[in-house]
Amino acid sequence: MSIPNFLYKKNRILLKELTKTDFKLRYQGSVLGYLWALLRPLMMFAILYFVFSVMLGFGGKPGDDGYIPYYPVYLLTGITLWSFFTECTNQGIQAIVQRGDLLRKISFPKYIVVVSSTLTAVINLLINLVVVVVFALISGVTPNLGWLMIIPLVLELYCLALGISFLFGSINVKYRDIASIWDVLIQALFYAVPIIYPITMVANSSLLAARILLLNPIAQVIQDVRFFLITNETMTTWGYWTNPVIRFLPVLIVIIVLILGSIYFRRKSKFFAEEV
């Protein structure tokens, strides 16, 4: 066995073990254990559905202006993807600091720590997506080959979260306020993404605002998943923009964030053991 192959195998095993450990520790000591991976987004869905659909009438009825077919599935899909993004970034940004003792004792590629912490969010997402699919089928959504498009869209969202984790996680090693600042930003961002409300509601007030909103990669991914999973009546980036370059802009943003985050992380990683 060559040295590069040996190192690759060792890193792969370390990544696997850290991911398993992170996932187990996440729910250690809780009564419901792994069930929280399902219950957290479902509880959030139940609260938001009651407030915005039952009380405020979001989603409407057939024939109404702004009617959203299968609104409960629409809402659950948005919450599931949003929960994945927030969990992924929150865990990724804190990963280096939380694994400081390991970094000081063992020499290995530091990116493994960040990737392993974000992969636990991927595991939770896969569990939750099964619930979303089952819920969609029960609600009467017809399955089709377009559902396969969920895979590359989730990968796009994961790459964005990973790039942010690399960038802010590196800064967080020296400036611990970054994690707290990100918590505030993520709360504000929640209302800037069409999770609860339909994008058509924004378009009715300002078409330009709706177009700009959909250039956000998070909004683009959520709307695209809804388009392929639930109904083709969902408004997407390519539905609001005719320019092919602008249509590709959200994906380009993801690529840039991932590249810049990776480069910055690589430059700073040599100092992590000293600063953490």
pLDDT tens-digit profile of 127-169?
889 888 988 898 888 888 989 999 999 999 999 999 999 999 9
- Tokens representing residue 226 in the block: 């809804």
Q: Is the pLDDT of residue 27 over 70?
A: no
Tell me what pLDDT residue 52 has.
67
Q: Using CB atoms within 10 A of its CB, is residue 272 exposed (0-12), middle (13-18) or buried (19+)? A: buried
Read off the pLDDT of each residue in 59-79 and give the average, rounded to a whole number.
Answer: 75
What is the length of the chain? 276
What are the tens digits of pLDDT across the range 168-201? 999 998 888 898 899 999 988 988 898 888 888 8
Tell me what pLDDT residue 60 has.
61
CA atoms within 13 Å, Cβ hemisphere of 215: 16
Tell me what pLDDT residue 38 has.
67
Confidence of residue 48 (pLDDT cuts 50, 70, 90): confident
Tell me what pLDDT residue 6 has.
47
Residue 193's alpha-carbon distances to 27, 107, 172, 217, in angstroms, are 29, 40, 25, 10
What whole-number distance in Å separates Cα of residue 162 and Cα of residue 167?
Answer: 9
pTM: 0.87
What are the tens digits of pLDDT across the range 216-272? 999 999 999 999 998 887 888 888 888 888 889 999 999 999 999 999 999 988 878
* Percentage of the chain exceeding pLDDT 70: 84
Q: Dihedral through CA 269, CA 271, CA 275, CA 276, nearest 10?
A: 30
Q: Is the pLDDT of residue 29 over 60?
A: no
- Tokens representing residue 79 in the block: 């919450």
Residue 260's alpha-carbon distances to 18, 87, 131, 175, 256, in angstroms, are 25, 21, 34, 19, 6
Q: Is the pLDDT of residue 125 over 80?
A: yes
Asked if 224 and 149 count as a contact pair (C-beta separation under 8 A), the reply is yes
Asked if 73 and 243 count as a contact pair (C-beta separation under 8 A), the reply is no
Read off the pLDDT of each residue in 15-34 and give the average, rounded to a whole number.
Answer: 67
The whole-chain average pLDDT of the chain stands at 83
What whole-number distance in Å separates Cα of residue 96 and Cα of residue 110?
Answer: 8
Asked if 245 and 254 count as a contact pair (C-beta separation under 8 A), the reply is no
Asked if 254 and 156 count as a contact pair (C-beta separation under 8 A), the reply is yes
